[in-house]
Amino acid sequence: MPISGKRMMDLVKKLGFERLSTYESETKAAEMLCDEIRAMGLEPTVETFLAPHYEIKDVKLEITEPFYKEITCTGYGFSGNDAKDGVEAEFVYIEGFDPIDLYDVKGKIVFFTGGMGVSAYESLIKAGAVGFICTSGTFRDKLAESDLEERTLRDKHTEHGKLPGVTIRMKDALSLIPKHPTRAKITLFQEEGEADSRNVIAEIKGTKYPDEIVVYTAHYDTVPFSKGYFDNSTGTAMVMELLRQYKDNPPMRTVRFIFCGSEERGLLGSKAYVAKHEDELEKIRLCINLDMAGPILGREMANVTGEESLCHALTFYYKEIGYPMTVRQDLYSSDSIPFADKGIPGINFFRSGAHGSYQIHTRHDIIDILSAESLAKTTNFIKSFSDKVLNAAFFPIERKMPQNMVEKLDKYLLKKKDNK
Ligand SMILES: [Zn+2]
C-alpha cells in the first residue's frame, strides 16, 4: 500500500479543532487517534499523566489615574491569585530587565513589551513588583481578524513565587503609553491545579531485533485559538501513516509510535513518557520526531540532535537520491528533546514553510497552506530513510549524545540555571 497524502490530509481535516492540554478537546483528539489505530486492527495504549491545569475565572485591567480606561486583556495562566480582589498600584513602564530598569518598581504594576521570560519573572518578584502587564501581537492586528493570545507561566517561572499578570494587545499599548497612565488595577482570579493529559501509543514488534526500538513522536495538542493544522496535525497524520505502513510490513526492529499530549505546555507528554519508561530507555536507539510538514511552499529540513556523523549519513542519503534538503546538527523545540536528554539521538524531520506562506499558534494556522502532495513527499522520504535504519544489518546510529548537544540541551532545559 503506497503512502497516501490524501489519507493524511483527511486526518488533518478531522483534527481541525482547538486541542488544549488538559481540556476535553485534547481528550477528544486522543480518542480520535485511538479510533484511527483500532480501525487498522491494532490496539492503542493510552498513558495518562498529570499536567498543570488552569481556568481563568475573572480578569480585568483598568487604568485608574490620571484617567479611567478599561483595557481588553487576557490573564496569565498560573500567575496566582494575589489579584483576586484587585490590586491597584502605581503604573510604571520598563524598557528592559536590567537593574537600572528595575530600581524603582517596588510596590508597582510593571508594564513591558513582549512575553514573560523566566529570569525576567524572577527579577520582577525580587524587585518587589505587585503585578505585570505585557503585550502580544503587532500594531497591524485587526480586531476582527486576530485573537489576543492567552499565555501561561511554566514551572521554572514560579520557583521564586507568583506575581499576577495580564497580556494586552500591542495596538492598545501603543495608544496607552503616550497618555502617561500613572495608576492601574489588575483583577485576576483563576483556578490552578492539575488534570489529565494523555499520550497515545502503538507498536509494531521487530521481526529480528525486537529489543532495538525506534520511536516516532508527534504532538497532537494545540495552543489556544489555533486549530493546529500545520502545527501539528500534519506530524500526527504522518506518524499515523508510518504506523499503517509498518503494520503491513513489519521491519526488523521494533517501531513505536507515540502521539504526545501537552507539547505546547513545555513538552509535557514526551517528558512524562521518558519518566515513566526509564527502565526501558536503554532499548530506544533513535527518536524520529515529526512536528510540522505539508506546506505547499517550503523547504525540506532535518535537525539532528545527535552525532555529526548522523548528519553526514543523512546528507549522503539525500544526495544519493537527489532530494534537496537542509540538514543541521541542532535541537528542535519539540518532543525529541526529553529523549535526547536521556542520550537518545533524535532526528526532527520537518518542512519549513516559505516566509509569508504560513502562520502558527494563531487562528491563521489554516489548512489552505497545506497540500497532500507535500505531506506525501516528506513522508516518503522519512519512510525510505527509516527503512534503511530499521532493516540495517547492524544498527547504524550510535546511542550517544555529543558534548555540544548536551550543552545545548542543558541550556534549553534550564539545567544550568537550576544548579546555580
Ligand atoms: Zn508543534
Please tell me the distance between residue 291's alpha carbon and the centre of ligand 1 in angstroms.
5
Cα dist. 227→266, 350, 360, 364 in Å? 18, 19, 9, 9
- Those residues whose C-beta lies under 8 Å from the C-beta of residue 211, and which sit 6 or more positions away, are 254, 283
Give per-residue pLDDT as tens, 84-98. 999 999 999 999 999
Cα dist. 144→140, 148, 168, 296, 365 in Å? 12, 11, 15, 27, 16
Q: Which cell is 52 given?
A: 498543570
Please tell me the distance between residue 303's alpha carbon and the centre of ligand 1 in angstroms.
14
Please tell me the distance between residue 168's alpha carbon and the centre of ligand 1 in angstroms.
24
Give per-residue pLDDT as tens, 331-342. 999 999 999 999
Separation CA 116–CA 129 (nearest Å): 14
Please tell me the distance between residue 125's alpha carbon and the centre of ligand 1 in angstroms.
31
> What pLDDT shows up at residue 420?
37
Please tell me the distance between residue 411's alpha carbon and the centre of ligand 1 in angstroms.
20
> What pLDDT shows up at residue 416?
60
Please tell me the distance between residue 228's alpha carbon and the centre of ligand 1 in angstroms.
8
Please tell me the distance between residue 144's alpha carbon and the centre of ligand 1 in angstroms.
25
Please tell me the distance between residue 232's alpha carbon and the centre of ligand 1 in angstroms.
5
Helix (H, G, I), strand (E, B) or coil at 389: helix
Compute the Cα dihedral for 148, 154, 157, 162 and give only its sign.
positive
Please tell me the distance between residue 221's alpha carbon and the centre of ligand 1 in angstroms.
8
Q: Which residue positions in the chain have pLDDT lower than 50?
A: 418-420
Give all domains of the chain, ordered by start, each with its CATH number.
Answer: 5-50+195-417 (3.40.630.10), 58-193 (3.50.30.30)
Please tell me the distance between residue 219's alpha carbon and the centre of ligand 1 in angstroms.
7
Please tell me the distance between residue 332's alpha carbon and the centre of ligand 1 in angstroms.
10
Please tell me the distance between residue 101's alpha carbon and the centre of ligand 1 in angstroms.
34
What is this structure's pTM? 0.93
Please tell me the distance between residue 142's alpha carbon and the centre of ligand 1 in angstroms.
25
Please tell me the distance between residue 223's alpha carbon and the centre of ligand 1 in angstroms.
9
206 near 247, Cβ under 8 Å? Answer: no
Please tell me the distance between residue 12's alpha carbon and the centre of ligand 1 in angstroms.
14
